[in-house]
Amino acid sequence: MRVKERELNLDWVTPLLAVGGSYPMEAAAHLAQKLGVRHVVDVRVECQDDEHVLREHGITFLHLPTVDMRAIQLRMIHDGVAWVRERLEREQKVLIHCEHGIGRSALLALCVLVDQGLEPLEALDLAKTRRPRVSPSPEQLKAFIAYTQDVRDRQSVAWPVPTLEALGTIAYRHLRMGMETTSGS
């Protein structure tokens, strides 16, 4: 089976970090050879990628099982961020994915972006711009707030911890845009 790029549900948030949804295991060769993905983080609990197939294509794998619409546990977020950081520091491409690439994978990617030096609201704006379907649930946004508070406490950064309202304004802006379009017609 030949995989076409447009069939893959992923977007590059940075040149080395992609966020996406599930993909057929037949796409592992395409991910590795055509896209240069060397590492995959799967945050689904309902199923998981076949680590053996990924390994056959030179892709390492991390599984952080999390229920759909729920937040990744803070301990797992820290573990996942450290794992991704190590690979990004080696200039290697990483794909973080869940089932649809909207919430769980976005949450971990947002935390990685903050770890890379972006302010939390900048991280969400970048992710939303590069992947418009990014819309973490309120529970996931609260976990992002908890992660940013942790980072702020440990690293004494200057940026403020975002509010749920400020994050929601960015995360759900597609809903307002749709309302503006329909109310103006």
Predicted confidence (pLDDT) at residue 11 exceeds the cutoff of 80 = yes
Task: Categorize the per-residue pLDDT at 179 as very low, low, confident or very high, splitting at 50, 70 and 90.
Answer: low
Provide the 8-state DSSP code for 136: -
Residue 185: the pLDDT is 44
Both structure tokens of 134: 């990014």
pLDDT tens digits, 71-86: 999 999 999 999 999 9
| Total number of domains in the chain | 1
Better-predicted residue by pLDDT, 183 or 37: 37
User: In the predicted model, what is the mean pLDDT of the chain?
Assistant: 93
Give CA–CA dist 155/178, Å, rounded.
39
Backbone φ and ψ of 10, nearest 5°: -150, 155
Task: Categorize the per-residue pLDDT at 96 as very low, low, confident or very high, splitting at 50, 70 and 90.
Answer: very high
Both structure tokens of 14: 């940075």
Q: What is the CATH number of the domain that holds 151?
A: 3.90.190.10
pLDDT tens digits, 133-168: 999 999 999 999 999 999 999 998 999 999 999 999
Predicted confidence (pLDDT) at residue 6 exceeds the cutoff of 60 = no
Structural domain including 134 reads 5-183
